[in-house]
Amino acid sequence: MGQKSVESASGNPDNAGAVDQLVADWSSDREAFKGVSWGKSMMWIFLLSDTFVFGTFLTGYMTVRMSTTVAWPNPSEVFALTIGGTELPLILIAIMTFVLISSSGTMAMAVNMGYQRKPKQAAYLMLATAVLGAMFVSMQVFEWTKLIHEGVRPWANPFGAPQFGSTFFMITGFHGLHVTAGVIYLTVVATKVLKGHYEKSGDYQVVEITGLYWHFVDLVWVFIFAFFYLW
């Protein structure tokens, strides 16, 4: 398309240059993620697909909860712990949430250390994040054990609607699997950083990529916390 035809098509000579540039950009062979590493691009694509999965699970949970004719269990009663003779509602869940959110802080500091080319500090902070993640999974195992001991099953629930057990174990279990995978991922990357695997290239972007995954896991927990324990 020539300059005159572009001007006549747009009706405005001032826009001709912009139209030509747009056509050139779309028709030329350019990278879709120019300046973005392959690893980071693939992590974003993975997290986007995982967002759809968790979104489907939570939408299904809301549908089941709103359509059931049996009373839904009261989270303050189901997830209460008795400490020193006093029943404390949601105390374990509050601690779990605090631990996981704290791990986001240590992960953010690890990414910052990676940007500053301080591998030892970055690795130690990643290991601290992994420890916090392991603590979260341990408390989740305790929570599951308590509910199973009280009779909650995927097909039955003494506290009310039987669908509670199936949705709870599926969604929290799937999230717990992600946290467990994240703990392993963090430990492996931190070990490689400590061993100087990235020393020659001086590129510690892998720390940031690991952080993307971990922050996603933390964000998903915020939605699970709101839907299961506060609603």
**Is there a single domain that holds both residue 139 and residue 25?**
no
**Is there a single domain that holds both residue 135 and residue 201?**
yes
Positions in the chain short of pLDDT 70? 1-16, 18, 21-35
Closest CA to 202 of 110, 114, 124: 114
**Is there a single domain that holds both residue 187 and residue 77?**
yes
Average pLDDT taken over every residue of the chain = 87
**Is there a single domain that holds both residue 12 and residue 77?**
no
Radius of gyration over every alpha carbon of the chain, rounded to an integer in angstroms:
25
Query: Taking the model in full, what pTM does it have?
Result: 0.82
Q: Are the beta carbons of 61 and 227 closer than 8 angstroms?
A: yes
115 residue type, one letter: Y
Six token digits for residue 82: 């008795």
**Is there a single domain that holds both residue 101 and residue 205?**
yes
**Is there a single domain that holds both residue 113 and residue 162?**
yes
Per-residue confidence (pLDDT) for residue 9, from 0 to 100? 45
Domain count, the chain: 2
Vertex 23: Cα angle to 22 and 27 (nearest 5):
120
Closest CA to 136 of 188, 100, 165: 100
Per-residue confidence (pLDDT) for residue 23, from 0 to 100? 62
Six token digits for residue 56: 């489907």
11 residue type, one letter: G
Give the bridge partners for 87, in sequence order.
82
Distance CA 162, CA 73 (A): 9
Per-residue confidence (pLDDT) for residue 83, from 0 to 100? 86
**Is there a single domain that holds both residue 25 and residue 41?**
no
**Is there a single domain that holds both residue 60 and residue 5?**
no
**Is there a single domain that holds both residue 1 and residue 96?**
no
Per-residue confidence (pLDDT) for residue 7, from 0 to 100? 44
**Is there a single domain that holds both residue 129 and residue 162?**
yes
**Is there a single domain that holds both residue 9 and residue 86?**
no
Closest CA to 161 of 153, 173, 149: 153
**DSSP letters of the chain?**
--HHHHHHHHS-GGGHHHHHHHHHHHHS---TTTTS-HHHHHHHHHHHHHHHHHHHHHHHHHHHHHH-SSPPP-HHHHTEEEETTEEEETHHHHHHHHHHHHHHHHHHHHHHHHHTT-HHHHHHHHHHHHHHHHHHHHHHHHHHHHHHHTT-BTTB-TTS-THHHHHHHHHHHHHHHHHHHHHHHHHHHHHHHHTTTTTTT---HHHHHHHHHHHHHHHHHHHHIIIIII-
**Is there a single domain that holds both residue 19 and residue 123?**
no
Supply the range of the domain harboring residue 189: 37-230
CATH number for the domain harbouring residue 219: 1.20.120.80
